Amino acid sequence: MSGHLGIALMLLVAAPIGGGDGEGGASAPGTISGRVVDHLGDPVAGARVWAWAIRLREEVGETLADDQGRFRLGPIEAGEPLELWAEGPGLAREQRQGVLVFAGVDHEIEPFPLLPGTTMTGRAVDAEGRPIAGASIDLKLYRHVLGHTISSHQTEWTIEADAEGRFVTPPLPAGRANFALAAPGKARTFAYESAEPGLPELDLGDVTMADEVPIRGVVVDQDGEPAPGVQVILDYDYDNAAISDDDGRFVVTGAGEDAKQLQLFANDYFAPEPVELGPAREDLRIVVTRAFLIEGNVVDAETGEPVEIDTATLCTVERHPDGTYSLYG
């Protein structure tokens, strides 16, 4: 039908692929060696060095540099390129991408330089200017990768304010520092600053945290039945999501008077539009739509035998007047 929108499951089937040397496809591990230096070329004694496997999303090796800044990581299984990270006393954390491990070989890399970075300070206070002791500060330092894409991978810290509400960051590499401050009874508060080369220190000053105004309500489906397990996210603050309970009830803590919008996410329900908040913060009733289940079998087109599914992708199919179609999603 012309212009008809439908739903289709795109099934990509792949057979296991072997690889590597020796029994079971395993290859001999290797090591990575090098030297951590500062911006003047002097060794950084005691620098922490670690390797991160991007595809596996896990750390695969960590060590400390000796008095001459030298380190050796491994043994590490040979294979895909790794991210190598290092940080040292008084120096900013830096990375090197595409570091290779060669089977049975110690791979010596070029010297790994660390820069001084930018140390940021600030003070968490309430609306009357009184310090908030023990406030928790989640810091994510974003940097650009691939043009407009940003990432805080491996540049995230949690800091605690002291008795006077003051907090101090480690030396930060160049990037945009996003601070999220939280404390009991206070609205989650955000501050932003940029770390720049040649800027050793930066003071955020007082960061005022207003009293929280919790948002309470219930999530129900289209039949009025409770919708449990729904994530309720306030103003894109994904790190502070509330989850509806078995009765569909939720409480978003850390909300302020200026809260504007709720977004809802769940595997079993969907809410196509965000919920705009008015002055009410109690007894909200939010309706979501119960998701439906798609079932089916994949068989070989010639033999009719079952085919093992490797990947299933849910997408939208748009059929065009000329009989062609496009897939989206």
Q: 261: phi > 0 → left, psi -120 to 50 → alpha, else beta; which?
A: beta
200 occurs within a structural domain: yes
- 204 shares its domain with 227: no
3-state helix, strand, coil in the chain (%, to 5): 0, 50, 50
73 occurs within a structural domain: yes
275 occurs within a structural domain: yes
pLDDT of 8 > 80? The answer is no
168 occurs within a structural domain: yes
Mean pLDDT (whole number) for 42-64: 94
- 139 shares its domain with 187: yes
Local confidence band at 55 (pLDDT 50, 70, 90 cut-offs): confident
Which of 114, 143, 166 corresponds to the end of one domain?
114
Local confidence band at 62 (pLDDT 50, 70, 90 cut-offs): very high
**Highest-confidence segment of 74-88, 124-138, 141-155:** 124-138
Pick 64 or 146 by higher pLDDT: 64
Give the C-alpha separation, 230 to 242, whole Å. Answer: 8
Q: Per DSSP, which regions of 188-283 are E strands? A: 189-195, 201-208, 215-220, 231-234, 242-243, 249-252, 261-265, 269-270, 275-276
- 99 shares its domain with 124: no
323 occurs within a structural domain: no
- 242 shares its domain with 263: yes
pLDDT of 46 reads 97
pLDDT of 127 > 90? The answer is yes
- 219 shares its domain with 286: yes
- 124 shares its domain with 195: yes
Mean pLDDT (whole number) for 22-49: 87
Give the CA distances from residue 105 to residues 8, 71, 78, in Å, rounded to whole numbers and listed in that order.
Answer: 48, 15, 9
pLDDT of 148 > 90? The answer is no
Local confidence band at 16 (pLDDT 50, 70, 90 cut-offs): very low
Percentage of the chain beyond pLDDT 70 is 91
pLDDT of 56 reads 84
Q: What is the mean pLDDT of the chain?
A: 89
Give the C-alpha separation, 50 to 150, whole Å. Answer: 22
Local confidence band at 6 (pLDDT 50, 70, 90 cut-offs): very low
202 occurs within a structural domain: yes
- 108 shares its domain with 124: no
**pLDDT (tens digit per residue) in 236-294:** 999 999 999 999 999 999 999 999 999 999 999 988 789 999 999 999 999 999 987 77
237 occurs within a structural domain: yes
pLDDT of 329 reads 62
Smallest CA-to-CA distance from 140 within 172, 101, 100, 186 is with: 172
Pick 6 or 162 by higher pLDDT: 162
Give the CA distances from residue 204 to residues 166, 184, 198, 283, in Å, rounded to whole numbers and listed in that order.
Answer: 10, 22, 17, 37
pTM for the whole structure: 0.77
Local confidence band at 26 (pLDDT 50, 70, 90 cut-offs): low
- 221 shares its domain with 277: yes
Q: Are strands 30-38 and 48-53 parallel, antiparallel or unpaired?
A: unpaired
316 occurs within a structural domain: no
Mean pLDDT (whole number) for 98-118: 95
pLDDT of 64 reads 98
pLDDT of 147 > 80? The answer is no
- 31 shares its domain with 108: yes
Pick 199 or 22 by higher pLDDT: 199
CATH assignment at residue 157: 2.60.40.1120
Which of 156, 190, 208 corresponds to the end of one domain?
208
pLDDT of 277 reads 95
Which of 85, 114, 143 corresponds to the end of one domain?
114
Structural domains of the chain, count = 3
- Residue 227 backbone phi and psi in degrees, to 5: -115, 95
Domain residues for the domain of 64 are: 27-114
pLDDT of 86 > 80? The answer is yes
**pLDDT (tens digit per residue) in 167-190:** 999 999 999 999 999 999 999 999
Mean pLDDT (whole number) for 10-14: 40
**pLDDT (tens digit per residue) in 284-308:** 999 999 987 777 888 888 898 999 8
Q: Which helix (H) or strand (E) holds 84?
A: strand 82-87
